[in-house]
Amino acid sequence: MYRAHLTVEGIVQGVGFRPAVYRLANELGLTGYVRNMGNMVEIALEGSHEGIEEFIERLKKDKPPISRINSIKKEIFEVNEASFAEFSIKESSSSSSGTSVIPADVATCSSCLEEMMDENNRRYLYPFTACTDCGPRFTVIESIPYDRERTSMRDFPLCSSCMEEYLNPLDRRYHAEATCCPICGPKPFLYRDGILKTPDPIKMAAELLDDGSILAVKGIGGTHLVCRADDDEVVKRLRSGLGRPNQPFACMSPDLESIESYASISDVEEEALTSRRRPIVVLKKSRDYCLAPSVAPGLHNIGVMLPYSGLHHVLLRYTEAPAYVMTSANRPGDPMFIENTEIIGGLQGIADYFLLHDRRIVNRCDDSVVRFRGGEMAFIRRSRGYAPEPYEIPHVAGDVSAICLGPELDVTFSVLKGGQCYVSQHIGNTSRYDTLLFLKDAVDYLMGITGTEDVDVIACDLHPQFLTTSYAEELASRFSAEVLRVQHHHAHALALMLDAGVDECICIAADGVGYGDDGTSWGGEILHCHGSDYERLGSLMPQRMPGGDLATRYPARMLLSMLRGRYEGDLQELFRERYSDYFPHGEREIGVVMRQLESGLNTGISTGTGRVLDAISAALRICGVRTYEGECAMKLESEAFRASEKLSMSFEVKEKGGRYILDTSAILLDVMELIDRGENRAEIAHAAQKAVAEGLAEMAVLAADDAGVKCIGGTGGVFYNEAISLAVRDYVTERGYRFIQHRNSCAGDGSVSLGQAVAVALRYR
Would you name the residues annotated as active-site residues? 18, 36
Percent composition of the chain: helix, strand, coil (DSSP 3-state, to 5): 35, 25, 40
Asked if residues 390 and 720 have their Cβ atoms less than 8 Å apart, the reply is no
List residues bridging with 712 in a β-sheet. 506, 739
The span from the CA of 12 to the CA of 59, in Å, is: 12
CA 69 to chain centroid: 24
The span from the CA of 315 to the CA of 201, in Å, is: 10
Looking at the chain, the number of H-run helices and the number of E-run strands are 23, 30
Task: Classify 527 as helix, strand or coil.
Answer: strand
Give the DSSP letter string of 411-424: B--EEEETTEEEEP
The span from the CA of 614 to the CA of 554, in Å, is: 9
740, containing H or E segment: strand 738-740
The span from the CA of 87 to the CA of 619, in Å, is: 73
Up-side HSE of residue 167: CA atoms within 13 Å toward CB?
7
Q: 563 to each of 614, 674, 696, 763, how far by Cα in Å? A: 14, 15, 20, 43
List residues bridging with 482 in a β-sheet. 457
Asked if residues 467 and 519 have their Cβ atoms less than 8 Å apart, the reply is no
Maximum Cα–Cα distance across the chain: 98
The span from the CA of 249 to the CA of 229, in Å, is: 9
Burial 553-564 (b: 16+ CB within 10 A, else e): ebbbbbbbbbbb
List residues bridging with 747 in a β-sheet. none
User: Residue 145, preceding bond cis, omega within 30 degrees?
Assistant: yes
List residues bridging with 72 in a β-sheet. 8
- The 8-class DSSP code of residue 317 comes to H
Task: Classify 519 as helix, strand or coil.
Answer: coil
Asked if residues 689 and 681 have their Cβ atoms less than 8 Å apart, the reply is no
Please state the three-class secondary structure of 175-215 as a single string: CCCCCCCCCCCCCEEEECCCECCCCCHHHHHHHHHHCCCCE
> Among residues 140, 664, 764, which one has the least CA distance to residue 455?
764
CA 153 to chain centroid: 27
Asked if residues 619 and 675 have their Cβ atoms less than 8 Å apart, the reply is yes
List residues bridging with 613 in a β-sheet. none
List residues bridging with 653 in a β-sheet. 662
Asked if residues 549 and 535 have their Cβ atoms less than 8 Å apart, the reply is no
Burial class (CB in 10 A: 0-12, 13-18, 19+), 748: buried
> Among residues 402, 420, 453, which one has the least CA distance to residue 101?
420
The span from the CA of 341 to the CA of 216, in Å, is: 12
The span from the CA of 583 to the CA of 588, in Å, is: 9
Dihedral over Cα of 611, 298, 211, 317: its sign: negative
